[in-house]
Chain A
C-alpha cells in the first residue's frame, strides 16, 4: 500500500510542478537557514570538556569592590596576591593558576626566522585536570613547579615545525633567548570554547603551542598576553606589579564531590573575610566557585550574533511551515472530487490520511535533500557571516545531516496534518453530487 500511495503522491506532485517546487523550496530554505545557524550555535554553546566539565571549577574573588563591578558579579580574573594565596592553601585535589603569555621560538638554524607562538604559563596539575593528550613524554611535575624549572610542553604543530615531527623529549628549545627542556609533546589541543581562558579569548582561539611552569614565567617577568585590569595604580617594577590589585590570572580547581566544593567555597569566604578584617578590602566577601558549564554561561561565551541568527532562522522556518500548510491545503482541497470518489468507493478516512501524509512526506524528503545541499553551502559560507575563529567550528557532520533530514520530513508531516485532516473530512456525497 505504501508504494502505491507513494506513486500516487509523486504523480500528484508532478501535476503541479510549480506548486511542488514552491513547497520543496520553502522547506529547503527554511531547514537550511535554521540548520546552518544551528551548526554555529551548537559549536559556540557546546561543552568543551564533557567528561570533566562537572568537576572543574573556576575561582572568582571580588578584589575590586562593589563600586567597581557590575550586578555584584566578581571580576573574571584574580590578582597575583589572591591567586597564589589560594593556590598555596591547597584546598582542592588538583589546582592550577593559568595565564597567557607570548613567546618567540628561536630556531637553531640562523637562516630561519624566529616564530611567535601563543603560550600559557600554568601549574603541573593542569595537564591531568584538562585531560590534555600527550603524544610524547608527559607534563612536568609539581616538583618542577616548586623548583621553578625551565621545562616546557610543546604542541605537535610546533614539534613538526622545529623538530620535523621527531622525538623531541629531552631536547632543548630556545624561547626568547633562554633554553627550556622539552618534557612532553601534546597532540593539537584546543578545546572550544577555551573555557580556561575566557576573559582573554572571549572563548574562541587557536590552541597554544607552548606551556611552561607558572613559577618560571613569573621569574622571567613575562607579562600577560591577555587583559590586565587595575583598580589602583600599581607600584613601579615587576615586584610592585605582583603585589598590586591588578587582576590577570585564572585559577582552576578539580573537585569530585559537592562537599569538597562547599568546603572550598567556605575557605574562600574565610579568606575574603580575613582580607576584610586586615583592612585590605572594605566590603563583604563575594566569591564564586563555578563549574565549566556555569562559567561559560555567566561569561556569555555564545556570541550575540550566533543566538540572534538562530532565533531569526527559527522564525524563518516557522514562516516556511505556515507557507507549506497553505500550499498543501490548496493542493489537497483542489482534489476534493477525487477524494470524494475514493471515499465513495470504500476508502476509509485512515487510508486518506495515509495517502496524503505520504505525499507530504515525499515533499519533506525532497525539501530535506535541497535543505541538505543548502546547509552544506551554508556551513561553507559561515565565514562570510561569522568571524573565522567561530566559522571554522561549524561543520556538516553526520549528526547535522541526520538532523537536517529529520527536521525537513518532520516539519513537512506536521505541516501536512491540518490539510490532511481537511481532506479526510470531505463528504463523498456532496462531492459526487456537484460533479
Chain B
C-alpha cells in the first residue's frame, strides 16, 4: 500500500499551527497520562496488599480506661473474658496493635547479645494464646503460646518475654538457610527470647514502612489504660456481636471510653481507613486520565473536521483524478498517525522528565518504561479512532466538488 507520506508531510508544512497544536496536545496528554496511570498502578498495588490475616469476621475495639488504678491488668482480663462470652464470638484478645491500625510499636532485634549494631527492626504485637486464631494467620512451624507463658509488662519497660513467635520474613532474614525454631533473639539487652513458632505472613501496623512483614508476636499482658481488643466472630454473627460489644463492656465497668470515631470498627473499616489516601489518589488520577483522553480525542475530532472542511475542494480534485475513497481515508488516517507519532516522541521525553521531577521532589518511584510504551500505543490508537469519523466524511466527498466554484 502506498502510504503517501511525502505529500502528507508537505501538506502539513502548510498547516504548521494545527499540526503543532495536535502534536503538543498529544505530547502533554501522554506525559500526564503515563505518570497518572503509573500512580494509579502503584496505589492499587498497595491497596491490594494482604495482611496475612483472615480479615473477614474480625472486629477491632479501641478502649481507654478512665482513672488510674494500680494496675490495669485485672480490668483488661475481665473485659477479654466478657468479650469471649458474647454469643457468636469465636475468640478474642487484648493487644497494643494489629495490622493496618496505623500506630504501634517497633524495636530493633539482634541475634548477637553483645553487638548493638546490625539490628533488624520489627513491629511488636502483644498477644495471648487466642491471637493466632483471632488473626487467622497460618502457623507454618513450631507451636502456639500456652496461657502460662503470657507475662505481664509494665508501662515504662521494654518487653522481652522468654518465648516469641516471629514471621517467616524475620526468620529468613535473621537465620538464612536454617530453621529459626529454638533460636535466640535479643529484643532488649541481656534478655534472650526463644523462637517457638513461625507464622507465614503478618504485616506491621503501618501501611508505609521499610520492613512490612517484620512482626514479632509476644505473649505479653501490657499494663496500660489504653487497650485494643481484637475479636473474631462466627460466620454470619459479625453484626450481632458488633451491636453487643458496647453493652458487654459497659456492663463490666462504665469507667471507660470507646471513642466515637475509632471505638468499634469492623476490619473492613480498618482497612478502608488505612488506605483512604491511596484509594483517593487512585480514583482522582483515573478520573483525570479518563477526562483527559476524552478531551484530547474531542480536540482531534474538532481539528480534523475543520481540515476536512477546508480541503473539500482538493479532495474533490483528487477523487476526480482517480483516487479511491480508501485512498482519501488512508490519507487522513496516515496524516493523523504521523502527527501523533511526532507528539508521542516529544511526549515520551516530557513523561520521563515529569517522572524525574516527581522523583526528586516527592520521592516517587520512576515511571516504568512499560507505562510509557502503553501510553504511546494508547494515544496512537486514540488518535486513529478520533480521526476516523472526519476521515470517513472526507472519503465521501464527491468528485463533483472539484468542479465547484473554481
Chain A residues near B (Cβ < 8 Å): 19, 22, 25-26, 29, 33, 102, 104, 106, 113-116, 176-177, 223, 233-234, 236-238, 240-241, 303-305, 307-309, 311-313, 315-316, 318-320, 322-323, 325-327, 329-331, 333-334, 384-388, 418, 422, 435
**From B189, B259, B295, B361, contact of A233 by CB (8 A):** B189
Q: How far is the CA of A106 from the CA of B188 in the complex (A)?
A: 38
Closest to B22 in A: A326
10 smallest A-B Cβ distances: which pairs? A330-B306, A385-B280, A116-B257, A323-B299, A326-B21, A104-B66, A177-B67, A114-B66, A315-B32, A385-B284
Residue B157 at the chain A interface, CB threshold 8 Å: yes
Q: Say how far A154's CB is from chain B's closest CB, in angstroms.
A: 17
A residues less than 8 Å from B250 (CB atoms): 113
B residues less than 8 Å from A323 (CB atoms): 25, 295-296, 298-299
Q: Contacts A176-B67, A308-B362, A312-B288 given: A422-B17 contact, CB under 8 Å?
A: yes
Q: Mark B273-307, 1 if CB is under 8 A from A, else 0.
A: 00011001101110010011001101100110110
Residues 1 to 27 of chain B near chain A (Cβ within 8 Å)? 17-18, 21-22, 24-25
B residues less than 8 Å from A177 (CB atoms): 66-68
**From B17, B24, B288, contact of A33 by CB (8 A):** B288
Q: How far is the CA of A300 from the CA of B29 in the complex (A)?
A: 29
Residue B309 at the chain A interface, CB threshold 8 Å: yes
B residues less than 8 Å from A418 (CB atoms): 17
Chain B residues near A (Cβ < 8 Å): 17-18, 21-22, 24-25, 28-29, 31-32, 35-36, 39, 64, 66-68, 155-158, 188-189, 226, 250, 254-257, 259, 276-277, 280-281, 283-285, 288, 291-292, 295-296, 298-299, 302-303, 305-306, 309-310, 354, 358, 361-362, 364, 405
Is the beta-carbon distance between A330 and B303 smaller than 8 angstroms?
A: yes
Number of A-B contacts (CB under 8 A): 143
Closest to B189 in A: A233
Q: Say how far B307's CB is from chain A's closest CB, in angstroms.
A: 8
Describe B's contact surface by its main secondary structure: helix
Is the beta-carbon distance between B25 and A326 smaller than 8 angstroms?
A: yes
14 pairs from A and B in contact (CB 8 Å cutoff): A25-B298, A26-B295, A26-B298, A114-B256, A176-B67, A307-B361, A307-B362, A326-B21, A329-B17, A329-B303, A330-B302, A330-B306, A384-B280, A386-B280
Q: Contacts A114-B66, A326-B25, A386-B277 given: A319-B302 contact, CB under 8 Å?
A: no
Is the beta-carbon distance between B296 and A319 smaller than 8 angstroms?
A: yes
Q: Say how far A404's CB is from chain B's closest CB, in angstroms.
A: 17
Q: Contacts A177-B66, A322-B25 given: A385-B281 contact, CB under 8 Å?
A: yes
Q: How far is the CA of A237 from the CA of B310 in the complex (A)?
A: 86
Q: How far is the CA of A432 from the CA of B292 in the complex (A)?
A: 40
A residues less than 8 Å from B291 (CB atoms): 29, 33, 316
Is the beta-carbon distance between A312 and B25 smaller than 8 angstroms?
A: no
Is the beta-carbon distance between B29 and A334 smaller than 8 angstroms?
A: no
B residues less than 8 Å from A240 (CB atoms): 156
Is the beta-carbon distance between A29 and B295 smaller than 8 angstroms?
A: yes
Q: Contacts A115-B257, A176-B68, A233-B158 given: A319-B25 contact, CB under 8 Å?
A: yes
**From A114, A238, A329, contact of B21 by CB (8 A):** A329
Q: Say how far B259's CB is from chain A's closest CB, in angstroms.
A: 5
**From A115, A315, A318, A326, contact of B302 by CB (8 A):** A326
Q: Given A177-B66, A313-B288, 5 other A-B contacts at CB below 8 A?
A: A22-B302, A319-B29, A326-B21, A329-B303, A385-B280
**From B39, B64, B255, B310, contact of A308 by CB (8 A):** B39
Q: How far is the CA of A326 from the CA of B298 in the complex (A)?
A: 11
Q: Say how far A138's CB is from chain B's closest CB, in angstroms.
A: 29
Is the beta-carbon distance between A305 and B281 smaller than 8 angstroms?
A: yes
Closest to A234 in B: B156
Q: How far is the CA of A73 from the CA of B200 in the complex (A)?
A: 38
Q: Contacts A312-B285, A326-B18, A333-B306 given: A387-B276 contact, CB under 8 Å?
A: yes
Q: How far is the CA of A114 from the CA of B31 in the complex (A)?
A: 55
Q: How far is the CA of A304 from the CA of B365 in the complex (A)?
A: 13
Q: Say how far A151's CB is from chain B's closest CB, in angstroms.
A: 20
Closest to B226 in A: A102
A residues less than 8 Å from B24 (CB atoms): 322
Q: How far is the CA of A305 from the CA of B358 in the complex (A)?
A: 11
B residues less than 8 Å from A388 (CB atoms): 276
B residues less than 8 Å from A113 (CB atoms): 250, 254, 257
Q: How far is the CA of A116 from the CA of B63 in the complex (A)?
A: 10
Q: Contacts A233-B158, A241-B156, A329-B18 given: A176-B306 contact, CB under 8 Å?
A: no
Is the beta-carbon distance between A322 and B28 smaller than 8 angstroms?
A: yes
Is the beta-carbon distance between B156 and A116 smaller than 8 angstroms?
A: no
